[in-house]
Structure 1
Amino acid sequence: MPAVNSGLVLVTGASGFVGTYAVKALLDAGFSVRGTVRSAQKGEHLKELSPKASYVIVEDMSKTGAYDEAVVGVDAVVHVASPLDTTNEGDPNNVIGPAVAGVTGILHSLEKNNPKAKRIVDISSVAAVGRAGVAGPGKRTEADWNNEIVDLCDKLGAAAPGGAKYSASKTVAEKAFWSFLEEKKPAFDGVVLNPGLIFGPPTQFTAAGGAIVGSNASALPFMRPGVPTATLEQPTVDIVDVRDVAAAIVAGVTTPAAGGERFIIAAAPLFYNDFAVAAAQVLPEAGVNANADPAYRAGLVAKAMVFDGSKATRVLGLNYRDKDATLLETVQALSAKQKASV
């Protein structure tokens, strides 16, 4: 299978949380990187990282030919960009359509405009593998698909929860990715990474006004007192450190055996209590409701529905960071940001 060990890599969504870490990891691995951003303002920080970093503006990735110029001359593509609108109250296709168009659009652009490209790595999600927050015990692997969430969106239409629409968009878009490769048989091959809920120290706060956004923001409610124990015992999506996702991206580009494969990128089951335990360490004065007892926490994990990330360890050589260390660093960064904003 083709793999890339040097040259120019295109990273879409390069100014986002994952994209920024991916760009840095690829630069550290010796690649030149071209990032796509929606505006010049968002791209300037990429150029500051290295003389080997550049950017192109793609305002709307769902438009036909949006990536035609961006893919020219690259050796590989890392497709991170995706619509994220979990508050959408309209038709599920308002979320699913752009996600599919973004994935298939960059595939068409690459096939049409770059005969030398060897590989594309698509960043999907465990949302395409199975539903989150489901009671276990049990295990999900790369053989699983979240077809039930697509069926739910078909059934409920506009009434489907925003998170369900997002999950359906990831599922349908990834299936479109594999269908393209199977039907078109382009010169390049494909790899899909399915990360869990991504945490880690943010490199920037990208929302207007510097607000905390993305998966890191989900820790905020548990940095305060008064969260019921029953809530803390609820499972959420398995956790992964953003730096491990970036390492998996580099390995996805460079590992020959990764071609044609999908990989769950997830370190461990995650419960809301885990957020609270980290918050209690960083903010002992806050009176956060948390249970740090190892036996209690192990009991929660024993009942979890696990997204099995071991294939990435075997094939990509990925060694996951400890979830408590990741959450501690995340909460420390969020706390510092909140204090600086006061």
Structure 2
Amino acid sequence: MPALTSGLILVTGASGFIGTHTVSALLDAGFSVRVTARSKPKAEHVRELFPGNEDHITYSIVPEISEKNAWDEAVKGVDGVIHLASPVTLAHTGDPDEIIRPAVDGVVHLLESLQKYNPSVKRVVQISSSAAVGGVDRPDVYAFTEKDWNDAIVAVVEKEGAAASGGAKYSASKTLSEKAFWKFIADNKPTWDGVSINPVFNFGPATQFAHADAGALTSSLVLLTPYLNPGAPQQLLETPYGSLVDVRDVAFASVKALTTQEAADERYLLSADKIWGNDIALAVETVIQEPGYLKANADPEYRATLATKKSYFDGSKVEKAFGFTYRKKDDTLRESVEAIQNAKKSKL
């Protein structure tokens, strides 16, 4: 199926951190967008974020993504899909199926609705996660690529059940939902193409803040919380957070996945650089410049030494495929902190 150059794109889960940036990138590229959200206020909020584009943004309300016919109306008439909607929590303490089933069923039922009501759709982009690729808790230093799958975490969750960590359950949900995506394509051989985007931790300026407190810091931005208050302990500097990517690069790559012919049936891991607590502390120090905050170590040699200590995700394939260069992590983290601080000031 040819790649898209124009048309109407369905963006599921559009009210979130990645979703709002993806809508912005699609509008910039000349597409019209149909967003889905769990409620009308959330959908209206997405439209309000883009004044002047009201004629190019419509919406469909999908209260429960795991219901079998939930997507039937949303998929009608669209030319492409970017699927983001999925449970996002690292603090779940109950049955893993409460996280895994909605993630898997949400994908499968979406694809079933497309087959039934819009089989002529051209391309479906599944926004998965590096959590479906692997984890950084390996004993050796390993470079994860698109060839890797996080089957180990699925086995852990199957064994431990409710006792498994929230992070493990989330990773299992991303692994199993992406596998369901590719299995559906293999089994049904649709006329449309599939692409998966697997980003690591997303940082960057948030466009969708409703509040400026910690409760508003959904997604990866919540990792910044300990550093945004005075008195953070020194040992946080050597806390590893895996890898990071700018949310704007994820949005850009998601659009390129629609418009690049060669992206069909490919899997793309998005990862710009490794990230440590020291990197976050440096960003906070640059923006806030007040006494009492954690003092970072800006020595290049120290930062380079940290970077050799843990496994990482190799995100070079997508740069070559889509012809772009990742934003630098120091810029991404600084702009993340600036956005949070500006949101706080606006609420005063």
TM-score, with length taken from structure 2: 0.94
Q: How many equivalent residue pairs?
A: 342
Partner of 1:73: 77
CA distance in 2, matches of 1:284, 1:170: 38
Partner of 1:59: 63
CA distance in 1, matches of 2:90, 2:120: 37
| Alignment map for 1:200-219 (pairs within 5 Å) | 200-206=204-210, 211-219=216-224
| Alignment map for 1:67-106 (pairs within 5 Å) | 67-106=71-110
Partner of 2:267: 262
* Amino acid of the structure 2 residue aligned with 1:219: L
Select the residue among 311, 323, 327 that pairs with 1:321: 327
| Alignment map for 1:134-153 (pairs within 5 Å) | 134=138, 136-153=140-157
1:14 aligns with 2:14: yes
1:198 aligns with 2:202: yes
Cα separation, partners in 2 of 1:28 and 1:340, compared to 1, 3 Å: closer
| Alignment map for 1:1-342 (pairs within 5 Å) | 1-48=1-48, 49=50, 50=53, 51-134=55-138, 136-206=140-210, 211-287=216-292, 288-341=294-347
When structure 1 is superposed on structure 2, of 57-66 and 219-228 the one drifting more is 219-228
Cα separation, partners in 2 of 1:286 and 1:106, compared to 1, 3 Å: farther
Cα separation, partners in 2 of 1:45 and 1:341, compared to 1, 3 Å: closer
User: Identity, % of aligned pairs?
Assistant: 51
CA distance in 1, matches of 2:231, 2:46: 41
CA distance in 2, matches of 1:145, 1:266: 16
Cα separation, partners in 2 of 1:132 and 1:138, compared to 1, 3 Å: closer
Structure 2: gaps of 5 or more residues = none
Runs of 4+ in 1 over 6 A off after TM superposition: 207-210
Q: Is the partner of 2:91 in helix, strand or coil?
A: coil
Cα separation, partners in 2 of 1:132 and 1:286, compared to 1, 3 Å: farther
Give CA deviations for 1:163-207 in whole Å, capped at 9, x if unaligned: 110000000100010000001101111000000100111112246
Check whether the contact 1:3–1:118 (CA below 8 A) recurs between aligned residues: yes
CA distance in 2, matches of 1:207, 1:61: 25
RMSD: 1.7
Check whether the contact 1:232–1:273 (CA below 8 A) recurs between aligned residues: yes
Shift of 1:208: 10
Cα separation, partners in 2 of 1:66 and 1:232, compared to 1, 3 Å: same
Check whether the contact 1:228–1:289 (CA below 8 A) recurs between aligned residues: no
Check whether the contact 1:277–1:290 (CA below 8 A) recurs between aligned residues: yes
CA distance in 2, matches of 1:64, 1:217: 32
Give CA deviations for 1:291-327 in whole Å, capped at 9, x if unaligned: 1111100111122311000000111223200000000
* Amino acid of the structure 2 residue aligned with 1:292: A
Check whether the contact 1:224–1:286 (CA below 8 A) recurs between aligned residues: no
Cα separation, partners in 2 of 1:291 and 1:127, compared to 1, 3 Å: same
CA distance in 1, matches of 2:254, 2:305: 33
